[in-house]
Structure 1
Amino acid sequence: MTKTQTSGKLPRTLRLDPSDTFVFAQAAEPGEWAVTGSFLFFDADLSALTGKDRAAFRSGFVGVRSLGFSTLVVVSEASDAEREAAVEDLARHIHERLGAPDREAACAAAREEIEVAASLCNLPVGSVVAMHRSERDGEIAEEFRTLHQRAPGADPLHGRAFHFVETDEDGPEEQADLLGLLNGAPAGAKRA
């Protein structure tokens, strides 16, 4: 296998809407290679986490470039060069920000995290993965859920919260008196 061929799969951060930018103190950029990030919480008092830190602990994958959090990741093809770049990005953070004793130790830790992330990718490319992290008996536990892309031609209406239908019927238009309902008037009662 040459260095330009695909060597496997890794998770990438996925942002379907801007919610991660509100949920986490620092959101990962869309499309970053990702790891589970549990190592960021090894020395934390998990019972004392609140707000955005608690949300990051419970459901945040970590982007290796930004060290920001992402609720979802997508299984993606990764070349050897991309895998090595992910190791280098994560090793830099482990050494500079997290205090690894030297670059070699940081690279070893980063490589281990990337391998754990790769082990989550025994799924079809395009599968979306979410995580729930918790503390059990003094240990950090991770549980993963997967969603798969719909097959081409699948029911386009499945999963929608609302479906609007135009009709040609002429009939009475329904109206709701929201103020009347708030003031205790029965539904359908006319306001004077």
Structure 2
Amino acid sequence: MSALKLPRTLRLDPSDAFVFTQAAEPGEWAVTGSFLFWDRDPASLTGKERVAFRSGFLGVASFGFSTLVVVSEASAAERDGAVATLADHLQTRLGAPDRAVALAAAREEIDFAASLCDLPVGTVVAMHRTETDGQIAEAFRTLHQKPGGEDRLHAGARAFRFVETDADEPEERADLIGLARGRTP
């Protein structure tokens, strides 16, 4: 039987605290969180909500967002705890009609998150979420550690690099300094 794996939130720098209304704490179990946007028009989202829609994984404990997750081993008890915590949020924050419904929805979200972890432990994953014709789509990318010495100018300064991209996707930029000063995109 294969080991159980789930995504955990990962914070490589303080940017999540600037780009999301609420950042997830590092090391939380995570789900994609797309259910938070099902009844919203993504075109109407602005600023930090738009960033959360485009690239935020949802931390199960804090209900905050994280740009990155890392594939991690989990015990059955940890998985069950993540389901229970997410079910609590589904009831208290989103109005699930009862505990049974909340637990079923939470199990489904945790199961989907686990399905993303058919990767080696330690693999870092980023997400890009879009909406087309009323349908939300998620694309996932893995980030890989840069071998030492590849970039002499910045040797050791960058821990990760993107290794794959879709040429037809628009480039997104974040003004982290502007966000830190209170400006929103």
TM-score tier after normalising by the smaller chain length: 0.7 to 0.9
Match of 1:132 in 2: 128
Counterpart Cα distance in 2 of 1:8 and 1:127: 15
* Gap runs ≥5 in structure 1: 165-192
Tell me the number of residue pairs that the alignment of Structure 1 and Structure 2 aligns: 156
* Gap runs ≥5 in structure 2: 157-185
* Counterpart mapping for 1:106-121 below 5 A: 106-121=102-117
In structure 2, which of residues 49, 66, 83 is the aligned counterpart of residue 53 of structure 1? 49
With the length of structure 1 as denominator, give the TM-score of the two structures: 0.77
Counterpart Cα distance in 1 of 2:24 and 2:152: 27
CA deviation string 1:79-128 (max 9, x = no partner): 00000000011000000100000011000000000000000000000000
- For the structure 1 residues 91 and 23, does the alpha-carbon distance in structure 2 shift closer, same or farther, using more than 3 Å as the test? same
Match of 1:158 in 2: 150
- For the structure 1 residues 161 and 94, does the alpha-carbon distance in structure 2 shift closer, same or farther, using more than 3 Å as the test? farther
CA RMSD in angstroms, aligned pairs only = 1.8
In structure 2, which of residues 23, 31, 43 is the aligned counterpart of residue 35 of structure 1? 31
- For the structure 1 residues 145 and 95, does the alpha-carbon distance in structure 2 shift closer, same or farther, using more than 3 Å as the test? same
- Residue 158 of structure 1 aligns with an amino acid whose one-letter code is E
Counterpart Cα distance in 2 of 1:161 and 1:91: 48
Counterpart Cα distance in 2 of 1:160 and 1:122: 33
**Cα shift at 1:159:** 5.2
Match of 2:174 in 1: none
Match of 1:100 in 2: 96
Tell me which structure has the larger Cα radius of gyration. 1
Counterpart Cα distance in 1 of 2:128 and 2:155: 31
**Aligned-residue identity in percent:** 71
CA deviation string 1:130-178 (max 9, x = no partner): 000000111000000012346xxxx4233575259xxxxxxxxxxxxxx
In structure 2, which of residues 8, 12, 16 is the aligned counterpart of residue 12 of structure 1? 8
Match of 1:78 in 2: 74
Counterpart Cα distance in 2 of 1:119 and 1:137: 26
